[in-house]
Structure 1
Amino acid sequence: MPQITPAQVLKETFGYEAFRPHQAQIIDAALAGRDVLAVMPTSAGKSICYQIPALMLGGLTVVVSPLISLMADQVGALRQSGVAASCLNSALGAQERADVLSAMAAGALSLVYVAPERLDDQRFLEVAASCGVSLLAVDEAHCISQWGNDFRPSYQRIIDFVHALPARPPVMALTATATRAVRDDIAGALDLASPLVVVASFDRPNLSFAVERPRGRAEKDRALVSFARERSELSGIVYCSSRHAVEEVCDALCDEGLLATRYHAGLSAAERERNQEDFLYDRRRIMVATNAFGMGIDKSNVSYVVHYNLSLSLENYYQEAGRAGRDGTRAECLLLYSPADVHTAEFLLDRSERDDLTAGQAAELHEHDERRLRQMVFYATTTDCLRAHILRYFGEEAPAYCDNCSNCLTSFDEVDATTDALKVVSCVARIAQRGQSAGAAAVVDVLRGSRAEKICRRGFDTLSTYGIMRDVPARRLRQLIDELVFRGVLTRSGGTYPTLGLSGAARGFLRREAPWDAPLMLKVTQGAPRAERSSWAPAREKTRAAADVSELDAAGQELYERLAELRGELAREQGVPAYFIFNNTTLVDLCAKRPRTTEELLGVSGVGAKKAERYGDAFLGRINAAQS
């Protein structure tokens, strides 16, 4: 009897014809008993990397996962595919936990998902030790590093669990975003032994990136409402930096008749769970949330992610933005940036407290966080390719032009801004010479000759630079100030009311000394983007693997609606999210291939043997009826 292969398990259990990049290599290493450290972007298929070994190794695979919602999502999806899986977390009652432990002891489970705190439970350790752990998978492994974007001290105790087992299993650490320092932390904290290290491309070709810079809160709200209204039938997430902002933004969307709900740590556990379910089950199309929402949420049909405020780092931003388009279909990632967001972000960093660190460690981490925030601001203000900026931040080479972000789709003129830049720096210097300081808004007012009371009261109207740039638009001046901060000529202080100052390089810049003797070239917007925002999705030829409803003919699109309706009916009957039945990519493939028999149905991406048995008759019936 020939032994089953990973490719056969992939097809028969999960319904996929071929592995995605790196999956087969990681699975082979785990089956050979080797430790693995895998950094793969969201939607790259990390879970398959430990789920297939779990089914092939026999025994028990323990998956450490940080959030209850992640566990429930993974377990529910596995059970739909006929895999014996369960979870242990604080949401379970005593009897439910006892039942899971009994199933473990009886060898009835292939996978059990556990919160890291559960590894401290002596009873769990006893059962795991007695039945044997074939593989330990640590999901969201960046949580183990204090330099990561979501450090959790409980993750650093995972190694104690490993050492307490009678036989050390192979350990697989997986994460979507990790710099080299974080990867080193993960390997050290888990004591990985000569691991296979896989760092996949961070590029997500099906995601389009955009930054808009609304002037003021009212304009930002209008931009968000307009964006969401154009996509009212799609599922999206809106991230805000504070609970208060979540409440206001959610109310604003609901007032416009949009189906929005909210999620933040200030809500009761019951309301968070209810709102999350409304979003997962598509009863509410928009989730407005702080970063407390989303880690590990496997909702595959999120079509857009909007950041209403600036993230604290590119790691946070890319992880959150990556929750769009998990099924491979086209999706949009929009950042609504305003300089006031920087002040809010700095305030959040200043008030963060870390009781688990020494004073020296906390100071070092705060400095590290400030550097990461500066990189996030550079992303929000750059006129270069947004995708390239992200990929290079994570150490990956990238072309300078992607034709798939708002900057690449916008026409810019490159102008010599040297004279204007000298005027701006001179203004900041004149203010400093008087022993005063001013924020960017005040500097703009001085240069434009504002008669505002606060400008005159401070004597700024008597400066030699007062009014020397009356004809330059305020937005252009703000862009120039951001550029000068980015290039290290000006500094921006922290705190609630940040002010501009001169850097050590400012004197050389004013004197036009090397390396400041070349012209300072600045890109300025020529007009509207070459493509409308709704078409910022990637060019079709670049994402042929990302099946999309728009690629179907008219009959196919009509069939898609019928199959989506059937999927919804089946999901409601079972009380599960619709994407547990089939995700959007599978529905599109069904409409493209239009199978008529069970054998043909098994050739559709995402249809495994168990799902074909469970749902085949219903879907084939709808397909055949549409073609008769």
Structure 2
Amino acid sequence: MLSSPNEILKDTFGYDDFRPGQLQIIQDVLQGKRTLGIMPTGGGKSICYQIPALMFSGVTLVVSPLISLMKDQVDSLNEMNIPATFINSTLNYSEANERMRYIESGAVKLLYVAPERIENPDFYNWLTHLPIDLIAVDEAHVLSSWGHDFRPSYLNVVQPLNELPGNPPVLALTATATNRVQEDITSILDIDDANVIKTGFERTNLALKIERGVNKPRYVLEYVQSHQDQSGIIYAGKRKDVEKIYDHLKEKGIKVGKYHAGLSDDMRHEMQEAFLFDEIDVMVATNAFGMGINTTNVRYVIHYSIPGTIESYYQEVGRAGRDGLAAEAILLYSPGDLQLHRFFIEQSDADDEYKQSLMEKLREMNQYAKTELCLMNYILKYFGETKTEPCGHCSNCLDERPAHDVTGDTQKALSCVVRMNQKYGKKTVSRVLAGKPDVANDWRNFGELSTFGLMHNETLKFIEEFIDFLTANDYLRTSDGPYPVLQLTEKGVLVLKSKLSVERRETRITQASRSIVDDGNFDTKLFEKLRKLRLSLAHAADVPPFVIFSDKTLRDMCKVMPKTSQEFLSVSGVGHAKLERYGDKFIHEIKEYQTE
């Protein structure tokens, strides 16, 4: 083994300090322990196996379901003079064969493969003859039936990997794992609980926002126009919405692309390349886009319609601000969007248990969209973390709308749930509170309850939404199972005992927010000059601009204004390979700018 993790981090990757959890994971891997790392998107998961790969004498095998991401990852490593390659279905037989001979020569430190490739007996037989020192399993949540991207075929490769000669250690990595998913992964990969390293899911640079009841097309246009020259992704649930938004923005002169499964492979590839090379600012897409996007400079993600799970949502918003700079994630909420998800779940071929788990996840996502609690804290709680301090920059934390006391109505609703023995769902409880005749005289005799008709002055829709509000804000919870019922929480009990009051903010239509808070002053004119230089170098090397340097590194150059090689090395994200390759060009550009 060569060098120390800290020396490699500085000399090769150009960073002074490890991010939380990275060093601990690396040390466990170097000691041969089977390890699970759970880190948020942009938390630096790949360094956790790339540094050990440079310290081991043999090959590190990276198993990833994201074929579209492999080339970018390999390009990024090769830019730092780290010998890496991939073998997947994008290569023809002779190309794959050529790479296999190259790997056999001992010239490669990291080999990226798709799980399907390992299922091929000939390829697996070839793998058994390689000196594999580490197996990294990326996107490990897809192993779990409780994960949001469950792939049964992924499980087929676990046994063959376990049987590789030398019994190399396994490092599993994921950004989105509830406690249930974590238990699944550790069980499937035989990882000891003591070797689970969880750095927390909080993204402090990401401002989460929910906009309810807005005119969506107008909001999107205003937002994009007020964030010109910033990179963003707009997710829509349906292809026709993607086309509509794309046409609308293009008509207004926005540099926009589109991406969905209805486009040809060539068109999708062309659009993705244009986005990666900063030729377009905004990508409008279904969730088919993004899994292979490693670009670090996305400043905002807008969800035009609600995703089906909190895991999917958090993974998609995680594509904003991967460079650690300030970014925004905005969800445009409309209750009608839930119908599309329900339809897809009901029509799917999955078994009833899996359908039910998807329905539960959709309910959780809907509650998130309606909560008045801190949005980041809500997500952390979903993933099994507790944090008492609000984030201070989500739309709920910054909400200044007047709040009204609704303790009386809350007690009516909670009393009704108790009188019904906490055995019924939202629709039945709402009908009892509204005093509907169809539930008054049936076999359950709800008409005899003291809470029957307590809210008869309100519409059924209002009562159902009010119960959603109480559930989203932790006064009620819904049980698991095919027929979820309402139950009181500890907070709900305190309200019933008049020990806690409840306030609800009034509804208001909001306008598109105008700015993303910046974090640190830098010379914007120089930044634009450096961006142009980066783009020309990217085209020459046929790699996306972020592979050369991230926006964060360019901003740091604008602050440091390096004039010598040593000063250039002090810029965050600049290692020795990048200094040799690009240092002179960027130093020259900075000196010229200062002279001007």
- Same fold per TM (> 0.5)? yes
Q: Distance in 2 between matches of 1:520 and 1:347?
A: 38
Evaluate the alpha carbon distance shift between residue 431 and residue 607 of structure 1 in structure 2; reply closer, same or farther with a 3 A threshold.
farther
Q: Distance in 1 between matches of 2:371 and 2:516?
A: 18
Specify which of 517, 520, 530 is matched with residue 551 of structure 1. Answer: 520
Give the number of equivalent residue pairs: 562
Specify the SS of the correspondent of 1:30: helix
Name the counterpart of 1:480. 466
Name the counterpart of 1:88. 87
| 1:588 has 2:577 as partner | no
Name the counterpart of 1:430. 436
- The 5 A counterparts of 1:102-117 are 102-117=101-116
Name the counterpart of 2:302. 306
Does the Cα contact within 8 Å between 1:410 and 1:528 map onto a contact in 2? no
Offset, 1:128:
2.0
Does the Cα contact within 8 Å between 1:301 and 1:324 map onto a contact in 2? yes
Specify the SS of the correspondent of 1:221: helix
- The 5 A counterparts of 1:334-413 are 334-354=330-350, 362-413=351-402
Offset, 1:427:
6.3
Specify which of 291, 294, 312 is matched with residue 290 of structure 2. Answer: 294
Q: Distance in 2 between matches of 1:166 and 1:104?
A: 17
Name the counterpart of 2:190. 191
Evaluate the alpha carbon distance shift between residue 619 and residue 435 of structure 1 in structure 2; reply closer, same or farther with a 3 A threshold.
farther
Please give the TM-score of this superposition, normalised by the length of structure 1.
0.83
Pick which of 332-341 and 9-18 moved more: 9-18
Name the counterpart of 2:206. 207
- The 5 A counterparts of 1:223-262 are 223-262=219-258
Evaluate the alpha carbon distance shift between residue 532 and residue 103 of structure 1 in structure 2; reply closer, same or farther with a 3 A threshold.
same
Q: Distance in 2 between matches of 1:513 and 1:396?
A: 23
Offset, 1:67:
1.6
Offset, 1:100:
1.3
Evaluate the alpha carbon distance shift between residue 429 and residue 513 of structure 1 in structure 2; reply closer, same or farther with a 3 A threshold.
farther
Q: Distance in 2 between matches of 1:374 and 1:619?
A: 51
Does the Cα contact within 8 Å between 2:478 and 2:486 map onto a contact in 1? no
Which runs of 5 or more structure 2 residues have no equivalent in the other structure?
A: 414-429, 443-452
Q: Among all aligned residue pairs of Structure 1 and Structure 2, give the percentage whose two residues are the same amino acid.
A: 41
Listed one character per residue, the Cα deviations across residues 259-309 of structure 1 (whole Å, up to 9, x for unaligned) are: 222222232222222211111111121122222221252110110111111
Name the counterpart of 1:523. 504
Does the Cα contact within 8 Å between 1:35 and 1:195 map onto a contact in 2? no
| 1:601 has 2:568 as partner | yes
Q: Distance in 2 between matches of 1:488 and 1:432?
A: 27
Q: Distance in 1 between matches of 2:378 and 2:193?
A: 32
Does the Cα contact within 8 Å between 2:186 and 2:193 map onto a contact in 1? no
Q: Distance in 2 between matches of 1:276 and 1:573?
A: 18
Alignment-mate amino acid for residue 289 of structure 1: A
Alignment-mate amino acid for residue 548 of structure 2: I
Name the counterpart of 1:320. 316
Does the Cα contact within 8 Å between 1:488 and 1:503 map onto a contact in 2? no
Q: Distance in 2 between matches of 1:245 and 1:608?
A: 43
Evaluate the alpha carbon distance shift between residue 163 and residue 524 of structure 1 in structure 2; reply closer, same or farther with a 3 A threshold.
closer
Does the Cα contact within 8 Å between 2:72 and 2:543 map onto a contact in 1? no
Specify the SS of the correspondent of 2:435: helix
Name the counterpart of 1:458. none
Does the Cα contact within 8 Å between 1:15 and 1:604 map onto a contact in 2? yes
Q: Distance in 1 between matches of 2:318 and 2:137?
A: 20
Evaluate the alpha carbon distance shift between residue 325 and residue 489 of structure 1 in structure 2; reply closer, same or farther with a 3 A threshold.
closer
Does the Cα contact within 8 Å between 2:58 and 2:132 map onto a contact in 1? yes
Q: Distance in 2 between matches of 1:18 and 1:163?
A: 33
Offset, 1:195:
6.2
Does the Cα contact within 8 Å between 1:104 and 1:128 map onto a contact in 2? no
Does the Cα contact within 8 Å between 1:86 and 1:109 map onto a contact in 2? yes
Evaluate the alpha carbon distance shift between residue 127 and residue 480 of structure 1 in structure 2; reply closer, same or farther with a 3 A threshold.
same
Does the Cα contact within 8 Å between 1:64 and 1:137 map onto a contact in 2? yes
Offset, 1:515:
7.0
| 1:533 has 2:513 as partner | yes
| 1:613 has 2:580 as partner | yes
Offset, 1:435:
9.4
Specify the SS of the correspondent of 2:320: coil
Listed one character per residue, the Cα deviations across residues 560-597 of structure 1 (whole Å, up to 9, x for unaligned) are: 12111111111122222111111011101111111111
Listed one character per residue, the Cα deviations across residues 7-31 of structure 1 (whole Å, up to 9, x for unaligned) are: 1111111111111111111111111
Alignment-mate amino acid for residue 591 of structure 1: C
Q: Distance in 2 between matches of 1:188 and 1:490?
A: 29
Evaluate the alpha carbon distance shift between residue 24 and residue 520 of structure 1 in structure 2; reply closer, same or farther with a 3 A threshold.
closer
Offset, 1:194:
6.8
Evaluate the alpha carbon distance shift between residue 475 and residue 97 of structure 1 in structure 2; reply closer, same or farther with a 3 A threshold.
same
Q: Distance in 2 between matches of 1:161 and 1:491?
A: 41
Name the counterpart of 2:421. none
Does the Cα contact within 8 Å between 2:25 and 2:35 map onto a contact in 1? yes
Specify the SS of the correspondent of 1:272: helix
Offset, 1:425:
5.7
**Over the residues paired in the alignment, what is the CA RMSD in angstroms?**
3.2
Alignment-mate amino acid for residue 248 of structure 1: K
Does the Cα contact within 8 Å between 1:214 and 1:223 map onto a contact in 2? no
Name the counterpart of 1:181. 180
Pick which of 162-171 and 478-487 moved more: 478-487
Please give the TM-score of this superposition, normalised by the length of structure 2.
0.87
